[in-house]
Structure 1
């Protein structure tokens, strides 16, 4: 089973790829299953969010057309903040998703990639506040499958890598909570495209997740253009084996399906 579980098309504001073109590329690469996870980010990019009606319409058309060649799953990426939970809950209740990535893209309506969130804070302050926001959200919201790119703040930390030991306690609390609730984490292969010196999330986080009893892991390329599809997924599977994991997951109707690595 070869699956890519984090893919964006032109239904996301930061991609111009047609869904059908991505499907054709995935088939050509030999993928068995892909899950589209279009962006929704209330509070910052509300006017640019995915149009659910058009997204589902195109998804259903493609699912029928390519049903004998590849399995397609209907997913979403919720870029959630504490004050936007109610809007996302409404979206979840109105859509029959197979899979939901819960991500933290902003805090207090301030983006990471622009440095708006980090500006005026010490490295300790913005790193800890990032994880605190995730913990607060998951204690109030439960309709998701995995946490996306859990240590994403590392990607945009201009001051270098913040020591894992400094965030270990709160990351442990996050991981214990999601394990107890039957949720998982994703490995996001964009770490290779961003030329990071570690996986996303880091090997330290992945080791801790396994030690705490975590088993639900998806692998996604975070595709925004055709050349991203399936990127480094086979390599990440080998990394998981080295870390002691035996299986990875796909999803259907919000239920995890386990596959041997």
Structure 2
């Protein structure tokens, strides 16, 4: 049994050719029993061209529903939504309009900088101290959590993707500053979960998001909702490195993972899942 709750299909324009039907076949081949499509919804910023068009959402839902009729893999439908503070009400209206199973929140853009791109990351982190930069990042993260829009926040230290080009030394918890802990406290208060995402292995940092230290903070503060997702943008990457995500959860003393249906989470024993996931 494998469950992957971060999967991009072709309505995410940075996942061309990643068709729902092909994902279903790949899931069957790999022995997976549940996947959640989380196509990008980006309604502001420079990368709206990577997003599903709002008018395509009914088509997206129907496509997943059709695919469900021809596979035994449980298909869930969701979005990975980029958070922009000024767009909260518009996002709320869109997310309430459709019967999604799962909504991931994410931060790729901070104060006009795309920290998921090398140039944007170097510009953002190169203009300020690391602590100042991370306080800005987690200020926006806290706003995203407190918006009430999201079930789970994706890859909570995604900025590490290119950070090493600006700051080669490994991060310590002291580098994060006070806003991290305020953001984590808000996650607990608002019941928002965290994703463990192994795409850092594909990005070349050789690690999951979040780091073990950061996930340990979240565990210690009482965040109980945790999901795993490959962040696949290609069919062949479905389920990629999920064993790393499970190992990360174990190392942080988690004993379960969560899945979602109709925006409600289900808790599954990590021992059970691990016994059925082969590296």
TM-score by length of 1: 0.93
Retained in 1: the 8 A contact 2:104–2:150?
yes
- 2 CA distance for matches of 1:239 and 1:48? 30
Count of matched residue positions in the alignment of Structure 1 and Structure 2: 258
1:49 maps to which of 41, 48, 51: 51
1:115-130 correspondence to structure 2 within 5 Å: 115-116=119-120, 118-119=122-123, 121-124=127-130, 125-130=132-137
1:1-261 correspondence to structure 2 within 5 Å: 1-16=1-16, 17-44=18-45, 45-50=47-52, 51-66=56-71, 69-112=72-115, 113-116=117-120, 118-119=122-123, 121-124=127-130, 125-139=132-146, 141-157=147-163, 158-159=165-166, 160=168, 161-261=170-270
| Greater CA drift, 167-176 or 180-189 | 167-176
Give CA deviations for 1:120-163 in whole Å, capped at 9, x if unaligned. 61242433322221112323x10211010001111121223443
Structure 2 alignment gaps of length 5 or more: 271-279
Deviation at residue 165 of structure 1 after TM alignment: 1.2
**Distance verdict in 2 for CA 1:114–1:198, change over 3 Å:** closer
Deviation at residue 117 of structure 1 after TM alignment: 5.6
Deviation at residue 84 of structure 1 after TM alignment: 2.1
Deviation at residue 197 of structure 1 after TM alignment: 4.2
Give every structure 1 segment of 4 or more consecutive aligned residues whose post-TM-superposition deviation is greater than 6 Å: none
Give CA deviations for 1:153-177 in whole Å, capped at 9, x if unaligned. 1112122344321215322211121
| CA RMSD in angstroms, aligned pairs only | 1.7
Deviation at residue 218 of structure 1 after TM alignment: 0.3
- 1 CA distance for matches of 2:118 and 2:91? 24
TM-score by length of 2: 0.87
| Greater CA drift, 11-20 or 103-112 | 103-112
Retained in 2: the 8 A contact 1:123–1:162?
no
Structure 1 alignment gaps of length 5 or more: none
Give CA deviations for 1:168-207 in whole Å, capped at 9, x if unaligned. 5322211121112111000011011122243201111111
Give CA deviations for 1:77-98 in whole Å, capped at 9, x if unaligned. 0011212222211211111111
